[in-house]
Amino acid sequence: MSHLLHIETATTNCSVALSHNGNLIHCIENNEADFRHSDHLHIYIKQLLDEANVKPFQLSSVAVSKGPGSFTGLRIGVSTAKGLCYAHNLPLISVNSLEVLAAAYTPKISDLLIPMFDARRMEVFTMVLNAKKEVVSPTRTEIITSDSFKELRDQGRLVLFGNGSDKCKGIIPEGNTYFIDSLKEPSAQHMVAKATDKFEAKNFEDIAYFEPFYLKDFYTNPPKP
C-alpha cells in the first residue's frame, strides 16, 4: 500500500494531491494570477494530509512537478518536496510539468499533443506527444512564428493547450490545428498515473543533487536606481 503526495507549482496554480495505490484521494488547489505559492503550499499540504488522516511519515514518496515553468514556483515546489523527503526519509519522484498538463486531456487517435507554457514575449516552453502520451519531440523552447510545428502538420491534428497557447492564435495556420482553451494550467491530480509508474519502477531522484528543470537561464530585472 502506497500513499503518494503530489506537488504542482510550475505555473500560477498552487496544487497538491494525495493518491493511494495509484488512485486519487483528494486534491487542493488555487489558481490566481497573483497567488503566492510560498504563503499557501505548506498550508495546503497540511490540510490535505489532515483531511485524509495521513501523517507525513506514513507517505511512501513525494512527487513534484520538476518544470519547465515559473522559476519561482518551481523552486518553491522542489524545495518543499525535498524538505519533506529529507525529514521523513522518503524517496523523491519528479514529473515533467508539460506532461502533467497533457495528462488532463484524452486525445483522439490521430492527435499530436502540444502543451505549452508562457516563457515571455513570443517564446514558449513546449514538447510534442502522440495520442499514447509518448514523447515525439522533447521539451524545448520555441519562438512562435508561422512556421512553428510546420513539420508536424501532415502527421495528425495538432492539439495546442496551456497558458502559452494563445500566442499561437492568428500566427499558426488554423487548418489542422485545434486549441483547448479550457486547459491552461497543470494540476497535481494529473500527476498520479505517471508518479505511480515511477514509484513502482523505483525511478527516484537523488535528493541531494536534484534541481528544477528550468530549461532557460534564470534572470531578474536589474534594480531600479
* Domains, in order of start, for the chain: 3-98+186-200 (3.30.420.40), 105-179 (3.30.420)
pLDDT tops 90 at residue 128: yes
Going by C-beta distance under 8 Å and a sequence separation of 6 or more, which residues neighbour residue 59?
Answer: 3, 4, 5, 84, 88, 90
- pLDDT value of position 32: 83
Going by C-beta distance under 8 Å and a sequence separation of 6 or more, which residues neighbour residue 206?
Answer: none
pTM value > 0.85? yes
The Cα-based distances of 61 to 5, 43, 109 in angstroms read: 7, 19, 33
Q: What is the mean pLDDT of the chain?
A: 93
Higher per-residue confidence, 33 vs 161: 161
- pLDDT value of position 222: 46
pLDDT tops 70 at residue 162: yes
- Per DSSP, the three-state class of 114 is strand
CA distance 119 to 122: 8
- pLDDT value of position 224: 45
Residue 34 — very low, low, confident or very high, per pLDDT cuts 50/70/90? confident
Q: From the CA atom positions of the chain, what is the Rg in Å? A: 18
- pLDDT value of position 217: 58
By C-alpha distance, which of 92, 60, 80 is closest to 14? Answer: 80
Higher per-residue confidence, 89 vs 1: 89
- pLDDT value of position 219: 44
pLDDT tops 70 at residue 113: yes
pLDDT tops 80 at residue 143: yes
- pLDDT tens for 43-98 read 999 999 999 999 999 999 999 999 999 999 999 999 999 999 999 999 999 999 99
CA distance 105 to 150: 22
